[in-house]
Amino acid sequence: DTEVTQTPKHLVMGMTNKKSLKCEQHMGHRAMYWYKQKAKKPPELMFVYSYEKLSINESVPSRFSPECPNSSLLNLHLHALQPEDSALYLCASSPRTLAGTGVSVGELFFGEGSRLTVL
Amino acid sequence: QQQVKQSPQSLIVQKGGISIINCAYENTAFDYFPWYQQFPGKGPALLIAIRPDVSEKKEGRFTISFNKSAKQFSLHIMDSQPGDSATYFCAAAALQGGSEKLVFGKGTKLTVNP
């Protein structure tokens, strides 16, 4: 079982709704990520939080709003989405240290994802 | 330069056979090369990973071969089993602007026939 927990597993929303995806990890990891994955495609990076601060935003539309309330939680707030935003949204976490400490930067631990359908 | 090229797109092997998936990259700043396995409806799971100072890494039936000069790496699955049927993603990681970024290949759908 994954140690990154995502809720809800499935979400159906209309284009005018406001909803949130939630992610939680208790591995003490200090970097957390949101990825979007369309069918038969690789995950695409959306946001990276490092030590609870947003460090990477891959030019994601403002209808997606991330939030990192503390080191264990990551939220993705959704508002006025489009049908093409329907996808599997994956949360991941990784150990985070300064360069040169020997910690692998690519060790991402993924949750099982939230399947989003926008009608 | 940020791309990781993966082939083949799909692969069918018989039980007990060897599955081989290849990846290539351009960016020499990449310093970590993981492979992820993804089953339908699940998130990707880290399978095995290698750093460029090592030419080969083996974990059970899974082996990564790494050719730094050619900027290529591959995953070999020995004695392939039906339970190995999944999509496999190679990836490459590098620190950029103080945060790590992971770039995925496009994936290979592996089917192992009984």
**Residue A29 corresponds to which tokens in the numbers above?**
């990891």
Q: Looking at the partner chain, which of A41, A48, A106 has a beta carbon nearest the beta carbon of B99?
A: A48
**Whether pLDDT at A104 is above 70:** no
Pick from A51, A81, A49, A50: nearest CA to A64: A81
List all residues of chain B from 4 to 23 with a beta carbon under 8 Å from chain A: none
What span, in angstroms and rounded, lies between the C-alpha atoms of A23 and A114?
A: 10
pLDDT, position A55: 82
- Quick check: B32 and A104 in contact, CB under 8 A? yes
Pick from A67, A75, A85, A68: nearest CA to A15: A85
Q: Is A77 helix (H, G, I), strand (E, B) or coil?
A: strand
**Touching check for B48 and chain A: CB below 8 Å?**
no
pLDDT band per the 50, 70, 90 thresholds, residue A97 = low
pLDDT, position A107: 80
What span, in angstroms and rounded, lies between the C-alpha atoms of B108 and B106?
A: 7
What span, in angstroms and rounded, lies between the C-alpha atoms of B49 and A54?
A: 27
pLDDT, position B2: 66
What span, in angstroms and rounded, lies between the C-alpha atoms of A32 and B106?
A: 22
What span, in angstroms and rounded, lies between the C-alpha atoms of B93 and A15?
A: 35
**Touching check for B105 and chain A: CB below 8 Å?**
yes
φ/ψ (deg, to 5) at A103: -80, 130
Pick from A1, A4, A20: nearest CA to A90: A4
Q: Residue A6's beta-bridge partner residues?
A: A23
Q: What percent of chain A has a predicted confidence (pLDDT) above 90?
A: 64
**Tens digit of each residue's pLDDT (9 = 90 or more) over B14-33:** 999 999 999 999 988 888 89
How does strand B62-67 pair with strand B56-59?
antiparallel
**Tens digit of each residue's pLDDT (9 = 90 or more) over B61-73:** 999 999 999 999 9
For the ranges A20-34, B1-15, B46-60, B92-106, the lowest mean pLDDT is seen at B92-106
Measured between CA atoms, the residue of chain A closest to residue B104 is A42
Residue A42 to residue B97, Cβ atoms within 8 A: no
Torsion angle (degrees, nearest 10) of CA B45, B51, B56, B61: -10
Residue B46 to residue A108, Cβ atoms within 8 A: yes
Q: Residue A94's beta-bridge partner residues?
A: A31
- Quick check: B11 and B112 in contact, CB under 8 A? no
**A54-76 mean pLDDT:** 93
Highest mean pLDDT among A45-49, A56-60, A63-67, B98-102: A63-67
What span, in angstroms and rounded, lies between the C-alpha atoms of B114 and B112?
A: 7
What span, in angstroms and rounded, lies between the C-alpha atoms of A6 and A75?
A: 10
pLDDT, position A102: 47
Residue B31 to residue A40, Cβ atoms within 8 A: no
Residue A104 to residue B49, Cβ atoms within 8 A: yes
**Residue B6 corresponds to which tokens in the numbers above?**
């993966």
Measured between CA atoms, the residue of chain B closest to residue A48 is B99
- Quick check: B54 and B86 in contact, CB under 8 A? no
**Touching check for B93 and chain A: CB below 8 Å?**
yes
Which residue type occupies B79? Answer: D
pLDDT band per the 50, 70, 90 thresholds, residue B98 = low
Which residues in chain B have Cβ-Cβ distances shorter than 8 Å to A90? 43-44
